[in-house]
Amino acid sequence: MKRTFKYRCYPTAAQVAELSRTFGCIRKVYNLALQTRTEAWNQRRKQIDYRATSALLTAWKRTEELAYLNEVSSVPLQQTLRHLQAAFYNFWAKRARYPRFKSRKKSRSSAEYTRSAFRWRDGVLTLAKMAEPLDIRWSRPMPEDAVPTTVTVSRDAAGRWFVSLLCEDPRVMPLPAADSVVGIDVGIDHLLVLSTGEKIANPRHERRDRRTLARAQRALCRKQIGSNNRAKARVEVGRVHARIADRRTDHLHKITTRLVRENQTLVIEDLAVSNLIRNRRLARAIGDAGWGQFRHMLEYKSAWYGRKVITVDRWFPSSKLCSDCGALATAMPLNVRTWTCDCGATHDRDVNTARNILAAGLAVTVCGADVRPQRNVPSGQSAAKQKALRREPQESPRPQG
């Protein structure tokens, strides 16, 4: 299985200059290709594919205005055209919005090199157009006899340099089968609540550094636009954000690895995190929790190790259902953390939600049942009212589950 290994690297001044030129040329080629494709469709209703933009790149290099594109490796320029084609495929498939132009200040600075644009010998990496190898800090070992097929060099907002190596990792193989299954409910007060009753605390990494971040952002606002001091202040803000993101990523890696190792089947709720973020009161807390990153890690690690992830429909009323008798409550405000059903069962809201998510996911897997099971209808409610309740969006956005 192919796997990416990411390491810190410390390029020399000459290498920094070469990589910075490459980043600038990549942005230029991407924006020119996007502009050309957009104009061709708007003016002539003509679609331009990757091959046409590749031919245009050759013509651009021959012009006096864009002759500087020849100073950098051609492979990252070709790769950015492939990335643009993939962006259009995602747009046509309605998985993403229309591609946007790259910005020097906001876009990610990265360059992708394929096998013909780098040399790999005994763990020493040398990129095209560079005389010296990169100084890489090998924080973890790579597989023996591994040969990278793709190398990506990137620079984050904090000014740190990274190199990512894509190679085959024979060490990734399915784990022994486990008997346990678990339902997972994400939240804010508790990051995760499991159907077993376990609650995993939310570290709130952004809140811990909020004062430091605010101080760095105020210092940035005081600097004159375009000055060197403003560039330095921007890097300081990036460092605070990077520290927060690193802590969050490390915490999520540990949690997802543990869950995948201990459980054969994991059931989660299909939340639209991008829509929940639009709630101004909860956006900061939801972003700090990293729900989307958690699901992404859970899915690819489950694919690695032979586990199964089941997603339950986001409109499934998991908070309102009694996990004992299946009765559906009429309302469940967010401030209600414990409630008692008519059958006499007292529920912790989050644990009850996780149990309902688990039951719904297993029902879909075993017998293909609807993810909205209505075993008992509370007295005094008509079938039409029950149907309306099932169709009504349940507590969106719902930070606690």
Active site residues: 185, 269, 350
* CA 260/CA 238 separation, integer angstroms: 32
CB 337 within 8 Å of CB 199: no
H helices, E strands: number in the chain: 11, 14
- The tokens for 101 are 């132009």
In angstroms, rounded to a whole number, what is the distance separating the alpha carbons of residues 269 and 172?
27
- Do the Cβ atoms of 174 and 257 come closer than 8 Å? no
- Look at the chain and count its residues: 401
Structure tokens at 5: 């290994």
Amino acid at 272: A
Alpha-carbon dihedral 358, 363, 368, 371, rounded to 10 degrees: -60
Does the N-terminal peptide bond of residue 378 adopt cis geometry, omega within 30 degrees of 0?
no
Q: Please state, as a whole number, how many other Cβ atoms lie within 10 Å of the Cβ of residue 213.
A: 18
